[in-house]
Amino acid sequence: QQQVKQSPQSLIVQKGGISIINCAYENTAFDYFPWYQQFPGKGPALLIAIRPDVSEKKEGRFTISFNKSAKQFSLHIMDSQPGDSATYFCAAPLCSGTYKYIFGTGTRLKVLA
Amino acid sequence: NAGVMQNPRHLVRRRGQEARLRCSPMKGHSHVYWYRQLPEEGLKFMVYLQKENIIDESGMPKERFSAEFPKEGPSILRIQQVVRGDSAAYFCASSSTGDTDTQYFGPGTRLTVL
């Protein structure tokens, strides 16, 4: 089965620092890459997403970098804040134009005050 | 504008009982997806439904699990004769179209099987 491999499993960052979470995928047909943020006891919420026709997308302090040749994409959180402490999941559709998402195993981020 | 609603938020069942999880999609959304999340793991796709139709149930266990999305009312995920291994968080998501499209998640139902 196709996989999305996410790392690191957990991450501790000082307030104001940069948090970087990486994902690698296998299926070259993937064409939509969302990142979800999940707080304890809550459902995942869409944070930011990118399509592979661009190499980078930025929304506020959150940036997705996409490397199509390496089949990798990453989430960068600039000026990390304690309120960013959550679990982050990358995801990709199983194949082009599909509804079936494959999720990474998640990264638990803790930002120290 | 209400988001995806799920109830109950927490459900406790004894082994052998039935669990019914409900999901009301966002207004205007006719596509519903169910995912299961085990502790310390990512979400796993279970089933995709449209009104009165099961489109893809390839992620559903073959036995004891069923899902429906009737013409009126919420989508229901039903687990019969629950076992301890069914303990997990079950999330429902909805979207406005069925192709690659943003899926909006509900708060989940946390099922505990004693």
Residue (of A38, A4, A33) closest to A109 by Cα position: A38
C-alpha span between A84 and B49 (Å, rounded): 33
d(CA A100, CA A93): 5
- What confidence score (pLDDT) does residue A54 get? 86
Using a CB-CB cut-off of 8 Å, the residues of chain A touching B43 are 44, 89, 101, 103
Q: How do residues B26-39 score in pLDDT, each as one tens digit?
A: 998 989 999 999 87
Quote the pLDDT of residue B14: 97
pLDDT at B100 over 60: no
Low-confidence winner among A90-99, B10-19, B45-54, B81-90 (lowest mean pLDDT): A90-99
Question: For the segment A39-85, what is each residue's pLDDT rounded down to a tens digit?
Answer: 988 889 989 998 888 889 999 999 999 888 888 999 999 999 999 99
pLDDT for the residue B41:
78
B113 to chain A nearest CA, in Å? 18
3-state secondary structure of B85: helix
Per residue in A97-108, pLDDT tens? 567 788 898 999
pLDDT at position B84 is: 95
The maximal CA–CA distance of chain A, rounded, in angstroms, is: 41
With an 8 Å Cβ cutoff, are A89 and B108 in contact? no
All residues of chain A having their beta carbon less than 8 Å from the beta carbon of residue B98 are 99
DSSP string of B12-53, one letter each residue: EE-TT--EEEEEEPPTT--EEEEEEE-TTS-EEEEEEEETTE
Which of A56, A23, A27 lies closest to B42 in space, CA to CA?
A23
Q: Does residue B97 carry a pLDDT above 80?
A: no
pLDDT band at B99 (very low <50, low <70, confident <90, very high): low
CA A105 to chain B, closest CA, distance in angstroms equals 4
Partner-chain contact B42 A42, CB within 8 Å: no
Which residues of chain B neighbour A97 with C-beta distances below 8 Å?
99-100
Q: What is the mean pLDDT of chain B?
A: 91
Tokens describing residue B30: 């006719």
- The reported pLDDT for the residue numbered A29 is 66
In this prediction, residue A101 carries a pLDDT of 80
How many A×B Cβ pairs under 8 Å?
Answer: 61
